[in-house]
Amino acid sequence: MPDRQETTEPLWVFGYGSLIWNPDFPVAERQIARATDWHRSFCMRSIHHRGTETAPGLVLALDHAPGAICDGVAFRVMPGAEAETLQALRDRELISSAYLETSLPLTLTDGRRVNALAYVIDPDHDQYCGNLPLVEQARIIAHATGGRGPNREYLFATADHLAELGIADPDLAWLSTQVRQL
């Protein structure tokens, strides 16, 4: 990601998981947005925030998948807060280097196209666990707890906020139902 301190372009950030309900930076604008060729999934083992090294949880990541779409929220950072936001996001998201910081083209619901900062999974990282069966994901999420609390709270908050925004995610809806039963 290029150094943003020299640019006057707005900084957009794509939220597809916890950033949707906890951006934790000053937001000037938010829009529902779509990223193409990416899929939101519980494909990253969490050894800090929602699990531990001995009992990892799962967190959402964008996994590259040609032809897929991922709807989420694009946040335009408040002008003047770009540098501090970028540093806070790096401290939050790059804790174990399993995410790659990148720029993704997004289409906003109002038709605008923007490039947004996004954190995507590194499929070569040892925390990557793509293609875990949903039943296994539910079992892990139901029982894992990390520094930011139970894994299930992360799932429920994300699924609930997606539903409130009118964003359908059948996998998260199914996982929420299964984890509540466990």
Q: Which of 114, 143, 93, 135 is nearest to 30 (CA)?
A: 114
| Residue 2 forms part of a structural domain | no
Do strands 113-121 and 99-108 pair parallel, antiparallel, or not at all (unpaired)? antiparallel
pLDDT at 7: 55
pLDDT at position 95: 87
Query: What are the residue numbers of the active site?
Result: 93
- Cβ atoms within 10 Å, residue 1: 11
Q: Is 138 domain-assigned? A: yes
Print pLDDT tens along the chain (182 aa).
544 445 578 999 999 999 999 999 999 999 999 999 999 999 999 998 999 999 999 999 999 999 999 999 999 999 999 999 999 999 999 988 999 999 999 999 999 999 999 999 999 999 999 999 999 999 999 999 999 999 999 999 999 999 999 999 999 999 999 999 99
Name the pairing type of β-strands 12-15 and 27-46.
unpaired
Q: Is residue 87 part of a domain?
A: yes
Provide the CATH number for the domain around residue 161: 3.10.490.10
The verdict on pTM exceeding 0.95 is: no
Domain count across the chain? 1
Q: Domain for residue 146, yes or no?
A: yes
Q: Quick check: is 136 in a domain?
A: yes
Contact between 144 and 129 (Cβ < 8 Å): no
Q: Is residue 175 part of a domain?
A: yes
Cα angle value 29/166/63 (rounded, 5°): 80
Range of the domain at 69: 7-181
Q: Would 16 be classed as within a structural domain? A: yes
The values of phi and psi at residue 73, to 5°, are: -125, 130
